[in-house]
Amino acid sequence: MGRANDSSLVGFILLGFSDHPHLEAVLFVVVLFFYLLTLVGNFIIIIISYLDPLLHTPMYFFLRNLSFLDLCFTTSLAPQTLFNLRGPEKTITYGGCVVQLYTSLALGSTECLLLAVMAFDRYVAICKPLHYVVIMNMQLCQQLASISWTIGLANSLIHATFTLQLPLCGTHRLDHFFCEVPALLRLACVDTTINELVLFVISGLFLLSLPALILISYGFITQAVLRIKSVEGRYKACRTCSSHLMVVIIFYGTIIYMYLQPNDSYSQDQGKFISLFYTMVTPTLNPIIYTLRNRDVKEAVKKLLSGRLCLLRM
């Protein structure tokens, strides 16, 4: 126990993918590619949703929040991952680990909530179109976004604070490529049953109740779409929801597979690659999905590239 707090002085060694040294150069290129793609794609979404008056709607307000979330989430992890993949030194300071833990937890939790809020927005747009502007006014949108950010931050404070208070057994070798709660719990000298129980319960609330609310919203949306008589009307309704639904499936699918199954059901290496997917690849897919499947976004991108979007804002 005398060495329990050594990690606060020397930090941690992130073992990452050191068991597969032949893959590190390839993973460096992959992570760098997706990180740059995430930066470019999400910056474009933020810029066009701000500059184009046609995109000043609740849907794109939440999409702008989602893009900002993805930018921050990936940036909290990618630079350190690239640093550790480029050579033999794979360390992170204790302060860096703390910042990474709080930030990634807060942003990931907020994204879970924001996707549920976006499903509610689509429900109102399809099921109550005549009252959409009144219900989804800008004040309500800002309140829903603020609530998502606040709950996400509170969730991060609970998990990260309880985890960082645990005494560590002298070792500072973290068997992961970033600082996350389950990896840190494995270094604790004391019984972590309560921490694991709290993590499982709150993760269950986020990863089961929120997708359930999203499914309920889309159940009502499906009923409303089936009542639309014109084919063009059905197509337009489906087009406005399909992008969000694809993002929900990809995001929640990987997170649920990662966190809501027994730890012994997959290897540690498999868990790392799953984590690599939802931390690096998923934030890249969001702007691609919304750009390729949304006519308004594609038109705004064309105007941005031609320089007309900046003139419209002026």
Dump pLDDT digits (tens) for 221-264.
Answer: 888 888 887 777 777 777 778 878 888 888 888 887 776 665 55
Alpha-carbon gap, residue 79 to 31, rounded angstroms: 9
> Could you give the 3-state DSSP secondary structure of residue 88?
coil
Which structural domain range is residue 16 located in?
Answer: 7-313
Domains identified in the chain, total number = 1
Using CB atoms within 10 A of its CB, is residue 185 exposed (0-12), middle (13-18) or buried (19+)?
middle
Q: Degrees (nearest 5) of the Cα angle 47, 50, 52?
A: 95
Q: Is residue 176 part of a domain?
A: yes
Q: Is residue 99 part of a domain?
A: yes
Cβ–Cβ < 8 Å for 248, 119: yes
Alpha-carbon gap, residue 245 to 119, rounded angstroms: 8
Q: Is residue 43 part of a domain?
A: yes
Long-range pairs, 271-275, Cβ under 8 A, ≥24: 272/16, 272/17, 272/176, 272/177, 275/176, 275/177, 275/178, 275/180
User: Which tokens belong to 99?
Assistant: 């910042």
The highest-confidence range among 30-39, 176-185, 238-247, 285-294, by mean pLDDT, is 30-39
pLDDT per position as a tens digit, 115-149: 999 999 999 988 888 899 999 999 999 999 999 99
Q: What is the pLDDT of residue 151?
A: 94
Q: Is residue 1 part of a domain?
A: no
Q: Is residue 47 part of a domain?
A: yes
Q: Is residue 167 part of a domain?
A: yes
User: Which tokens belong to 309?
Assistant: 């979007």
Q: What is the CATH number of the domain that holds 51?
A: 1.20.1070.10
Q: What is the pLDDT of residue 119?
A: 92
